[in-house]
Chains A and B, each alone.
Chain A
């Protein structure tokens, strides 16, 4: 493991204000039948130009956390906590401000590009429309920009592809086209919700490398939600692992992947099939993630945790930091670095 990657210095240091600052975020979905506590007190910081992966399994609250940043949750969702993006309070925005904010300062890409692209407009028109809407550019200028963007995302014969409809493109090209739409207004923050999960292996790595290159070139902050440890290893500067609506561990990608502190990411790493595990029995995390109908008063992991004690159930463990840049919510982690 290279030491350079483990240094928090990789992020632009001394940025006075983080690009994203989330404090004590709670999201509950209440319907007549049941109430689901999807996010239960998440704190996140993202520096400008940094890539943070939120890693978690289905139901861990990773996508809900990300959507809250853009206020893309359904109306019946109850959201509390502070969300600041680029110094602005997202909760206080009115509809008009939100419409400017989405697609302008913050853009999002999704797993399934067909749901994000409009099937009845050409790729070129969709990009140009975004540029016209947010930057007030003329139609001509917007179309020129659309061509630049398709070249930026490395779509071959970009000029011809401007006139293509989404269904005429292959999966990988569609994903690139969606990235082009998202980058149309040079966002400061890109939110990516499993954008490579549905892609074939040889295409997935192309899109990951493209995203990393674009992020560096444009200096964007990126929050990348994934369930795949390998994807996080390819793209993240920092990783936040979520379980049952809370961040249980956070740290630089290299250090966290090499030696996780919390038993959940430890188990996850052991349960993920690596090359060279043939013939060995896989370690598993017994049981299944909890239903989120009630919030556990303590740590949510004890039913599956090999080290659980009574103290774990009493109260939610505070974040402990044994080393600079590393934090975990576990009573077994020593609290060395007081920061």
Chain B
């Protein structure tokens, strides 16, 4: 694999590219005299999902829901406390003798683009060097790495002859984000994790970058995990959408199912919170009151119950299970689960059908 070609596929299209099971990440809050752990932030608390080959999976949620921690776990920038990750049929981080994939090889096939385009580039390197850095570390000869960097600059719409030797501060925010995308592609990854990639950009530039992401996915045969708080952007770019609340997945399904037939009351509230561009359709009442609670002490049972208009006793007593609504659409709500004991159990099922 010295030429850093794209890695071969295994298992065919039916096997997910990445499968996560029961992923947990807690951050201890230290304090006091001996730096004892006072509390635990349950940033990601038992998250399971799969990313199919060639799809774009959107992840939405508000601050503190664990979407960025999930991204960092996916990239293995941090280690999970529990749970397993299987990439292309191979357990991540286990020895090759045991049929696993080493982290070094995994990180070559999974790359990430961050929100802050400036902080994620070395300010002292011309951008072509930043892009060529990864391939060189992974053993590509310097001249070839630079050649690849220039091809990628062209692919992201920055003419190499005028941009290759520039430094990050000489570029606009949109151009810098293009460089970050080019760099993410330099190792020929199969999966790209995009953590709020357009959130810091002006609207006119955001559209350019979204179009570019669509083109590159097609051209390079990529799979995306696209994390954003902007529900319109996620709807535009995703095939499937996953909604997170306080460290847990509350709903997941094909983009049409989530946006047209959301079963979880949180998803519905999130969608209803989008400002409408039509002043004739202004709301008078917010869909939810209050802020999301602190992930240090999440509520018992269903974590959304403290803000949910339909909460009942069963919601505090028992954690809802993931109820299947058909067509890969699942929701963790007692109302979506006919046997849950909630007075409106099954109502969501009818609505979704």
Contacts and interface: CB of A to CB of B under 8 A. Distances in A.
A233 interface: yes
B255 interface: yes
A218 to B, nearest CB: 18
A172 B207 CA distance: 29
26 contacts: A5-B280, A202-B62, A202-B288, A204-B273, A205-B274, A205-B287, A206-B286, A209-B283, A209-B285, A209-B286, A230-B276, A233-B276, A236-B279, A254-B279, A254-B280, A267-B204, A273-B207, A273-B210, A274-B232, A278-B235, A278-B255, A282-B211, A284-B204, A285-B204, A288-B174, A289-B202
A229 interface: yes
Contacts of B97: none
A2 B290 CA distance: 31
Contacts of B285: 209
Nearest to B171: A288
Interface residues of A, number: 48
Nearest to B234: A273
A309 to B, nearest CB: 21
Nearest to A276: B235
Interface string A191-205: 000000000111111
A273 B175 CA distance: 20
Contact of A229 (B203, B235, B289): B203
Contacts of A57: 202-204
- The 9 closest A-B CB pairs, nearest first, are A230-B275, A271-B207, A200-B62, A285-B204, A57-B202, A170-B291, A282-B207, A2-B280, A233-B277
A246 B204 CA distance: 18
Interface residues of B, number: 45
Contacts of B273: 201-202, 204-205
Nearest to B64: A200
Interface in B241-282: 255, 259, 269-270, 273-280, 282
A281 interface: yes
Nearest to B272: A205
Interface in A145-194: 156, 170-173
A208 interface: yes
A201 B229 contact: yes
B174 A200 contact: no
Contacts of B269: 202
A234 B292 contact: no
